[in-house]
Amino acid sequence: MQMRVLGGTGIKVSPYCFGAMNFGTWANTDGEEAGRIINAALDGGINFIDTADIYSSGESERIVGRAIKGRREDVVLATKFHNQMGDDVNRRGNSRRWIVRAVEDSLRRLDTDHIDIYQAHRPDPDTDIEETLSALTDLVRAGKIRAFGSSTFPAELIVEAQWTSERRGLERLRTEQPPYSILNRTIEAAVLPTTQRYGVGVLVWSPLAMGWLSGKYRNGVDMSTGRAKMAAQVFDPALPENARKMAAVEELAKIAADAGVSLTHLSMAFSIAHPGVTSAIIGPRTREQLDDLLAGADLVLDEETLDRIDEVVAPGTAISAGDTFYTPREISEKSLRRRPVATRSAA
């Protein structure tokens, strides 16, 4: 694979990043098989692995750590913190108190002495961004992490973080990990221009749109049996937004057929075609899925094909608003968008 520089870090990574979310109790529970799949990905040219503490309550990190033992120096290793990891209310978030504990837990599970890219899994409105950046800067200076980044941060928070680092003499966010696919192109409007402006590397997740672009779920597919039955809740065509997605998938399948490629390969090639995207996270559960993804790794889409995709889903838009995966509490909480109503006491 043709390596790309991750932001301004100088670290060179593959255009596909191996995502380990599907290893552990959440999906593939066979740790030995998972290890073989990870090593097959490394043998296939991928040098970038992404996981998180929350994935299967830490089991994903343990699986990755075992799999890369003896190959650690050849791997750019990324993990994430933020989500609840236990009953204590303070075992979560982006506070210094939690970060310094969470990184030690991840280092132990990964069986390594350093993490290459340590990421805040989501924004934390309860924590001042300077608090987070200061704690992460200390981890860089202590050698526990090499660089740090964010995941699913809106453009305005990326800018705030950059300004805070400059004014306080702190290390900068070097990466951002947003959702991005043909069906969800919202980051093209603000996030990608912002990351490009500040030289932030971008590794996108869900390039196959949670399975919509895998080619498995199409019009006429029986959703009443097997894995399709479990997926029916997500792919239920009776929901208006799902009906729109299904129609878009059918159009994209025609474009893929005309280009002589599979829908999966078309979708993955699209996800790394934007000049602001460094790497796209793949999450195969099986060796067969990995082999299929690797087979399309060198595909480059021509202008005509990209123009046809634009006609199906316009740049900067999404089929479903819910696919952004982050809603600021200024929108979700009524009390923050409504003036308090004065109550009149009884006479």
Q: HEC states along the chain?
A: CCCEECCCCCCEECCEEEECCCECCCCECCHHHHHHHHHHHHHCCCCEEECCCCHHHHHHHHHHHHHCCCCHHHCEEEEEECCCCCCCCCCCCCCHHHHHHHHHHHHHHHCCCCEEEEEECCCCCCCCHHHHHHHHHHHHHCCCEEEEEEECCCHHHHHHHHHHHHHHCCCCCCEEECECECCECHHHCCHHHHHHHHCCEEEEECCCHHHHHHCCCCCCCCCCCHHHHHHHHHHCCCCHHHHHHHHHHHHHHHHHHHHCCCHHHHHHHHHCCCCCCCEEEECCCCHHHHHHHHHCCCCCCCHHHHHHHHHHCCCCCECCHHHHCCCCHHHHCHHHCCCCCCCCCCC
Active site residue 118: no
Residue 91: what are its φ and ψ, rounded to 5°? -90, 55
* CA neighbours closer than 13 Å in the CB half-sphere of residue 215: 16
Supply 107's token pair: 């280092």
Of 55, 180, 198, 217, which one is the catalytic site residue?
A: 55
Catalytic residues: 55
